[in-house]
Structure 1
Amino acid sequence: MPLTITLLGILALILLISVVRLHAFLAFMAVSLGVGLALGLKPLVIVDAIQKGIGSTLGSITAIIALGAMLGKLVAQSGAAQRIAVNMMELVGTPRARWAFMITGFIVGLPLFYSVGFMLLSPLVITVAHRYKLPALYIALPMLASLSVTQGYLPPHPAPLAILKQFDANMGLTLFYGIIVSIPAILVSGALFGSTLKRYTTLPNPAFISPDLKAEEMPSSSVSFLTVLLPILLIGLSTLISPFLPNGSAGQQLILFLGEPIVSMFIAVLVAIYTLGLRQRKTMTEVTALLADSVKDVAMLFLIFGGAGALKQVLTDGGVNQSIADMMNDSSVHPYILAWGMAALIRVCVGSSTVSGITTAGFVAPLLASSGVEPNLMVLSIGAGSMMFSHVNDTGFWLFREYFQLSMVDTLKTWSIMETLVSVSGLVGVMAVNWVIT
């Protein structure tokens, strides 16, 4: 029954947004209240869940999105994005732009959270698409597939890392298997599927298209690349260096602090204010106005993300996760497929890949011990399942739609299908690796 209620709630949400044309935040609120009552939650409990869901969701992403928007605006308006785009196209050529972004997305996605990588790379994709008259989605999907794969499959991203620790899996082996599984998943979901999207020619959000500037008006290549890559460098150095420093030492604490996404993005924005603002002969008043405009560009996203968080929390408090787990516990399916399926169902119903992965790990842990399967591959199978069919209850869905300005239907046909291919390809890769090593 809870699963049926959840599916009906998601259907109602889609209809309210796409047919009734109700604002997404109001639609989320209406469905959260309705689903909560249908699940048997008391009205005041529903209100608490909504408040908790909005707070927890926005608390984890608001600063990163705001800082990412600020950095993206400075990168776009200063000409840094144009400089990087010109250099990249000179290096790889227009026909191979999508491959360059696909590789960049994988490298950037290893140390960065998805939202940070998205906020940094999407303006570059949009700028290249605008400058060279290319369909934005055609070159963006390979990059986004790479970011999704690294987020879902590979530690040190939150869910894979938490699952790895719970299963006492080996970090190095999980990364090794994960990279093997990631490559075909990215090729299928990004390169292959992305090649079918040339017909989507909707113009992306113009806020992230940099103005036409002469060569002497743009920042230098070194300044442009360093400013954009600064958060990646800080987080990457933190990931690489911190394990070799004495545990709990001042040096380790400092490097971990600098590697926190919020801190690294904040530092990058401060640097960008100088390198891409004041150094480019803009006044502090002009820079501040740009930063204010950047937040306006993404302000509506905060309401949508909050609404998605509210629905997620209502479903969680209503016991949807437990119902799905109970339904699949007695199955005779292969453990990897069972774990993948459980994570996929929770992901589709709840919307959060992190919640899906961590919840599934708790139910699969006893199965892992009794079946004797490879824990490193179990981490990857759950990670793949947690990426299944992102839709209206996932904040990533709305981030993508806002940047690339697609309709609801087209977002489902592009973004949601890509995420589904990421998930299914990951499972196929896990089963193939398992066949080789056993």
Structure 2
Amino acid sequence: MADWQILSITAVAIIAIVFLILKLRVNPALSLVIGAAGLGLATGLGATGTTDTIMQGFGDIMFEVGLLIAWGVLMGAILNEMGAINKLVERLMKVFGPKGIPYALGLTLGTMLQSIFLDVLLVMSAPLARRIAPKLGKFGTARMATAMAISLECGIVLMVPGVATVALAGLLGVPLGSMLIFGLLVIIPTILVSIFIMDFFIQRGFWNVEKDQEPMEEAQDLGADGTAPGGAPVGAPVMPSDDPAAVLPASDPRSRVGLLPYDVRTRTARGPKEASLLVMFGPMLLSLVLIGGGALAGMAGFTSPVTDFLSTPVIALLIGLLGTSFVARRTIGTKRVEEAVVGGFRESGQILILTGAGGALAAVVAASGMGDVLGGYFSASSVAPLLVVWGIAALLHVAVGSVSISAITAAGLLAPVAPTLGLDPVLIALAAGAGSLFFVHVTSNTFWLLQSMLGQTTRGTFKTCSIGVSVASVVALGFTLILSLFL
């Protein structure tokens, strides 16, 4: 089959996937598998070859990241049940004060808390952010909303164990330890620089208090039905969330904007004992240290059976999960821990299916010969390919409206191309993640949650969320290009 035919068929398959998700409201995981099946049949793989390739691709990615995603989701569910997020944000305010809180909160949300669902993390931290905003002066709402939008979206695609980050690493064959280390090198300066750029313009006329935000009121807790305060604007569309666990069929009542995958209403009861922040987050931080330490030891040429075993991501995250569960049982009781685990298992299933569907698409793309075709169009330099990777992911995000889905789909398309580029695959993963951040808009559930929970108008949310995260997308690409000079 001619190159132009393969390119055309693949383009039609991607457009069909977007149409299924947005217009027909077909679940994204089903849409990816349908697109993969159509691509396989149209490129001559045959019925048996297409189905075998889809199942093989699904199984391969589950082999790589299945347990990692499950452990991370369960850890986040237990941390949320302990009320760890509220306590952490309150402590940050005391330590860093009004001037430093946007940066401190941004770094914390983006780097430390990515085992927690994005929507859950947003709903738990937004009321505290809104109470902090008046202490930052006239532009407090804009500064806090921008910091939250940038950090939440960057974390899900650039920081381990964010579900999209883990999926990107698995699809592109990036060791999770390398993804953690180089992701940190990109995400930390990206969050700091992006917030600084946005703050600069916010305080110089970019933000109009009268038009861009609602009158400041004290943040309210979630209603009895679990909806966010104020709800979404009347007529707001139900679109894919940036958290794949929150992507639900339109018939599911939880798919309404502002509803969460499971009950995360703020709880005040902490049980008979009060755990410190270090104790709450210690096991999770230990997991990341073990993974990162193992990667650094490997780069230095040091190896031993004990360190190799403990630094294996599936073991390191299991240690973190067991430690977090132990702490939670002593603070909030066994019953609430079991409830959190049940909810975490339920929601991890949705993430795993979506990730596996991305792996199925990647396998069909590879089998169709698309990798060889695209490889011929990439420059041998380390800059142009990364720009193309970023552009593909950005275009998919603008079309699909979900950071996670666009990142996973882009990785599925690019996985067969990676070996031909002469680049470290971690750079491709970071560029795809950066591109998937570009222009978060009204098709994103995060957009409407930020609008309603932080008291912004739709116009204001375009500034803090759409433009703010787009700035972070470009900044992340810049730091990825700098990193490419050394890898």
Q: For this structure pair, what is the TM-score category when the shorter chain's length is used for normalisation?
A: 0.5 to 0.7
Deviation at 1:342, TM superposition (A): 4.9
Deviation at 1:338, TM superposition (A): 2.8
Q: What is the 5 A alignment of 1:371-382?
A: 382=428
**Cα pair 1:17 1:27 within 8 Å, conserved:** yes
Residue 74 in structure 1 maps to residue 78 in structure 2: yes
Higher helix share: 1
When residues 290 and 351 of structure 1 are mapped into structure 2, their CA distance, relative to the original with a 3 A threshold, is: closer
**Aligned counterpart, 1:222:** 278
TM-score by length of 1: 0.68
**Cα pair 1:5 1:39 within 8 Å, conserved:** yes
After superposition, give the CA deviation of every residue in 1:317-345 in whole Å (9 maximum; x if it has no partner): 1111211122346xxxx934433245447
**Aligned counterpart, 1:29:** 33
2: distance between equivalents of 1:295 and 1:434? 37
CA root-mean-square deviation: 4.9
TM-score by length of 2: 0.62
Give the match's secondary structure for 1:118: coil
2: distance between equivalents of 1:58 and 1:418? 34
Residue 86 in structure 1 maps to residue 96 in structure 2: no
The amino acid that maps onto 2:419 is: G
When residues 50 and 150 of structure 1 are mapped into structure 2, their CA distance, relative to the original with a 3 A threshold, is: same
**Aligned counterpart, 1:253:** 305
Task: For structure 2, list consecutive stretches of 5 or more residues without a partner in the other structure.
Answer: 132-143, 215-230, 233-256, 397-405, 438-443, 451-461
Give the alignment partner of residue 288 of structure 1, picking from 338, 358, 362: 338
The amino acid that maps onto 1:322 is: D
When residues 343 and 26 of structure 1 are mapped into structure 2, their CA distance, relative to the original with a 3 A threshold, is: closer
Q: What is the 5 A alignment of 1:176-325?
A: 179=185, 185-187=190-192, 192=197, 203=258, 205=260, 207-208=263-264, 210-213=266-269, 218-240=274-296, 246-247=302-303, 252-277=304-329, 279-280=330-331, 282-283=333-334, 285-325=335-375
Deviation at 1:208, TM superposition (A): 4.7
**Aligned counterpart, 1:167:** none
2: distance between equivalents of 1:403 and 1:431? 28
Deviation at 1:139, TM superposition (A): 0.8
The amino acid that maps onto 1:292 is: V
The amino acid that maps onto 2:68 is: I
Count of aligned pairs: 383
The amino acid that maps onto 1:314 is: V
Residue 326 in structure 1 maps to residue 386 in structure 2: no
2: distance between equivalents of 1:15 and 1:358? 23
**Aligned counterpart, 1:20:** 24
1: distance between equivalents of 2:333 and 2:67? 25
Give the match's secondary structure for 1:7: helix
1: distance between equivalents of 2:117 and 2:343? 19
2: distance between equivalents of 1:321 and 1:417? 33
**Aligned counterpart, 1:10:** 14
Give the alignment partner of residue 119 of structure 1, picking from 115, 122, 127: 115
1: distance between equivalents of 2:73 and 2:483? 39
1: distance between equivalents of 2:407 and 2:8? 13
**Cα pair 2:83 2:266 within 8 Å, conserved:** yes
**Cα pair 1:29 1:311 within 8 Å, conserved:** yes
Give the match's secondary structure for 1:119: coil
**Cα pair 2:106 2:147 within 8 Å, conserved:** no
Deviation at 1:51, TM superposition (A): 0.3
When residues 57 and 420 of structure 1 are mapped into structure 2, their CA distance, relative to the original with a 3 A threshold, is: farther
**Aligned counterpart, 1:139:** 148
When residues 29 and 384 of structure 1 are mapped into structure 2, their CA distance, relative to the original with a 3 A threshold, is: closer
**Cα pair 1:52 1:310 within 8 Å, conserved:** yes
Deviation at 1:291, TM superposition (A): 1.0
